[in-house]
Structure 1
């Protein structure tokens, strides 16, 4: 490692030939390499003595530069291992505290990184690597489907593993469902006025028109749905029954039963997108338990464990099971073998439940902070996002601008609008900030932003 051709030392070529003292140039060159993506979190840097040799300077200059870079939070040292680029939090990278991306919070009392390392090591140790890295059955192996059935049992009850499909994320599963519905019946998809935007994109992709059904404080209105079915005979209904995205409403059992009854009478397929149910200690029965012959049940691990797992579980109605499996194979030949094996191992050996317990604990603490600072926000005690109504005159573009000026990334109602008539508000995600302290400061900034009296059609 004695030249700039080595990957860990190429960033040294960024240093200007003249200017500030050499140690300052080293720090600035390192910072630029990290900012431009030449160096990533976790990359190892050359030893100080090697850098001194490459640059032709004394060792104390490089030692001073590394110390200054460490003080800026650019690098960190591991005793006996060397110096590494610090893995930076999202708010460090963007300069904003992210209250927009809906992520599960870091689990209390557990290290996701340690669990992942242990699981990957166990999978590689127990499995022939050539087999692991080859093609696998679409929809997951029987063992993976068995793990999926066990994971969903608290809300879905006992379901035969053979009915399960393992998908590489919820969006892929959602696309397979809508492709199946479009191919089988065509027609329109019914949604609430504010809805997960990914379903709108997928519906357009597969030629399904979107029809908006009114909602009330309890969720989608069954009587309004019945009238819409009688007038237009749509093909399917999309619901997020637990901690709705974005409004944070959870349908009670009576509302679930009423919607299932209307769907059955109107010949509607039900797309039950249920990413949050496992965050609840005692989740309500899934709609798929009330109308199993009409319901596609989709549950991702992205909102209760980690989005990086890229794993979701799909249970189609029996009448469209094979068609759904074919659509899934067309969109994604198979789920990631490594991630599917990790998830299956975690569920089978109890690590997934321990991780979920840690996420639940942290989620409750963060939700309590939100309740303290923003008492008008709505959401379950276990929820990882809340909904906050805004006056109609608070325009989304002004909210975005003022929030960014205060160092906040926020998502307003317009991002979720299925039609022109909808409530005005914010979906505030609680899991993205790296710590409770960062979250508290961000929510206090939101409270100050909202305390300003709005002028007509503007945010002041």
Structure 2
């Protein structure tokens, strides 16, 4: 070790002993993300390996958490008194070990770690968006919350707020949904604490116990559970490769005179079917002729690179449009937007208020900030990019599965989830979870986003192919 190196480390250790972090050379502000560098002093070997090992030890012991930003390479070189090339080599080694990831223009961050590669099941059951390619969600969240708290009194932020969301939040929601809805009056938009809450409030608002509703034969389990608690009868409409079968839908409406149609037109859950524009127009025409309102659960509508028009854009007067950020941005936001037919937002807001008094203020503010600052569109693009890569992987390893190019899940017809899958290290969900009453048939929904890393997903898909191929 050079004398210069020793002096730098000694000074740095003194800073730590007295509770100070290193000072960032650019900003002059404390740099707490550099505290792990003190670990270099007690390690042996070449300097670049000591730096990488110190970083790994800090992550393993919890000193550094996923999403934490660490100093730039030149800053590390300055702090410890070594050349920039050595630090570059150290960061490259840390990247190879899966410890860090860099984002151009934003810095270097501790990478999210999972235990998937060591033990436990490969999760193909939870339908989550994958980590957005090229972005660090933790850093983006810190930036957004920092900006919000800098301009907003925390006491005001954390107080009770209007149940429909503020005008700024409703305007942001309307702008976010413009690719599928076109221009929408923000007065029609309502902010909710997630799609499940919104669907529950809609069923409370639009139905009474004993009513019938039509849904897809294989439908979102949350809808089925809510309908059962509400005392509703769900009539399953058969599906083809484009979703609801129009002829059967028309017959069911004529025979049963249901109160509602509930459907997911894009990447239907679980079958991944997507209605073409012609199919959307047909479904809307059938519902309009019968006078039956549609609840459009459009969780995935923004994922396609060229999104199709929402049902609500084809029949604004007869469709309640529900869109969640959970599948397009991050499930942790817990924000959904409901666009009601003209003049009907106020009545729905009252029903929503009875279930959840307001959307979570901080998360609604983050979603609004992200939409306004164009962060949401970047996250969506990153999710889409990663989803497409994973879907291509599924097409290669499991060619019998069906689903669109940007879908977060695929459907394996006729396959069954059983104990054999668990013994092969797979967590799966089968058709029994999604069947409406009286519906038969088998299939597996294979979720592509829950696995933290693509190699883990590939391992799970290969095991699945061996079971069902």
TM-score category (smaller protein): 0.7 to 0.9
CA contact (8 A) 2:243 2:274 kept: yes
CA distance in 1, matches of 2:207, 2:289: 20
1:414 aligned to 2:432? yes
CA contact (8 A) 2:241 2:274 kept: no
1:115 aligned to 2:140? yes
Q: Deviations over 1:226-260 (max 9, x none)?
A: 11111111111011000000000000011111111
- Give the direction of change, closer, same or farther, for the CA distance of 1:285–1:205 in structure 2 (3 Å limit): same
**Which residue pairs with 1:432 in the alignment?**
450
CA RMSD of aligned residues (A): 2.8
CA contact (8 A) 2:320 2:339 kept: yes
1:149 aligned to 2:174? yes
Q: Which runs of 4+ in 1 moved over 4 A?
A: 76-80, 85-88
1:133 aligned to 2:119? no
Per-residue deviation at 1:77? 4.9
Instruction: Name stretches of at least 5 consecutive residues in structure 2 with no aligned partner.
Output: 1-34, 40-52, 65-69, 72-109
CA distance in 1, matches of 2:346, 2:148: 30
Instruction: Name stretches of at least 5 consecutive residues in structure 1 with no aligned partner.
Output: 1-43, 49-66, 452-460
Match of 1:191 among 205, 215, 219: 215
CA distance in 2, matches of 1:168, 1:431: 22
Per-residue deviation at 1:320? 3.5
Per-residue deviation at 1:280? 1.1
Per-residue deviation at 1:277? 1.1
CA contact (8 A) 1:366 1:430 kept: yes
**Which residue pairs with 1:158 in the alignment?**
183
5 Å matches for 1:64-79? 75-78=61-64
- Give the direction of change, closer, same or farther, for the CA distance of 1:117–1:209 in structure 2 (3 Å limit): same
- Give the direction of change, closer, same or farther, for the CA distance of 1:405–1:313 in structure 2 (3 Å limit): same
Match of 1:285 among 309, 317, 330: 309
CA contact (8 A) 1:182 1:207 kept: no
CA distance in 1, matches of 2:260, 2:383: 33
Per-residue deviation at 1:357? 0.9
**Which residue pairs with 1:215 in the alignment?**
239
1:314 aligned to 2:338? yes
1:423 aligned to 2:438? no
2:296 is paired with a residue of what secondary structure?
Answer: strand
2:376 is paired with a residue of what secondary structure?
Answer: helix
- Give the direction of change, closer, same or farther, for the CA distance of 1:186–1:324 in structure 2 (3 Å limit): farther
CA contact (8 A) 1:74 1:86 kept: no
**Which residue pairs with 1:103 in the alignment?**
128
CA distance in 2, matches of 1:378, 1:90: 29
**Which residue pairs with 1:168 in the alignment?**
193
- Give the direction of change, closer, same or farther, for the CA distance of 1:93–1:193 in structure 2 (3 Å limit): farther
CA distance in 2, matches of 1:202, 1:265: 27
Q: Deviations over 1:184-212 (max 9, x none)?
A: x9621101110001001111222221111
**Which residue pairs with 1:457 in the alignment?**
none
CA contact (8 A) 1:90 1:98 kept: no
**Which residue pairs with 1:201 in the alignment?**
225
**Which residue pairs with 2:418 in the alignment?**
400
CA distance in 2, matches of 1:239, 1:211: 12
- Give the direction of change, closer, same or farther, for the CA distance of 1:344–1:313 in structure 2 (3 Å limit): same
- Give the direction of change, closer, same or farther, for the CA distance of 1:340–1:354 in structure 2 (3 Å limit): same
**Which residue pairs with 1:28 in the alignment?**
none
CA distance in 2, matches of 1:386, 1:423: 16
TM-score using structure 1 length: 0.78
CA distance in 2, matches of 1:172, 1:271: 14
CA contact (8 A) 1:293 1:319 kept: no
5 Å matches for 1:359-374? 359-374=383-398
CA distance in 2, matches of 1:342, 1:273: 23
Per-residue deviation at 1:297? 0.2
Per-residue deviation at 1:422? 3.2
CA distance in 1, matches of 2:230, 2:343: 20
- Give the direction of change, closer, same or farther, for the CA distance of 1:93–1:305 in structure 2 (3 Å limit): farther
**Which residue pairs with 2:30 in the alignment?**
none
1:236 aligned to 2:236? no
Q: Deviations over 1:33-78 (max 9, x none)?
A: xxxxxxxxxxx99x99xxxxxxxxxxxxxxxxxx9xx78x853554
Match of 1:341 among 357, 365, 374: 365
Per-residue deviation at 1:216? 2.2
CA contact (8 A) 1:194 1:422 kept: no
CA distance in 1, matches of 2:378, 2:371: 10
2:439 is paired with a residue of what secondary structure?
Answer: coil
TM-score using structure 2 length: 0.76
- Give the direction of change, closer, same or farther, for the CA distance of 1:94–1:296 in structure 2 (3 Å limit): farther
Q: Deviations over 1:259-281 (max 9, x none)?
A: 11111111211010001111112
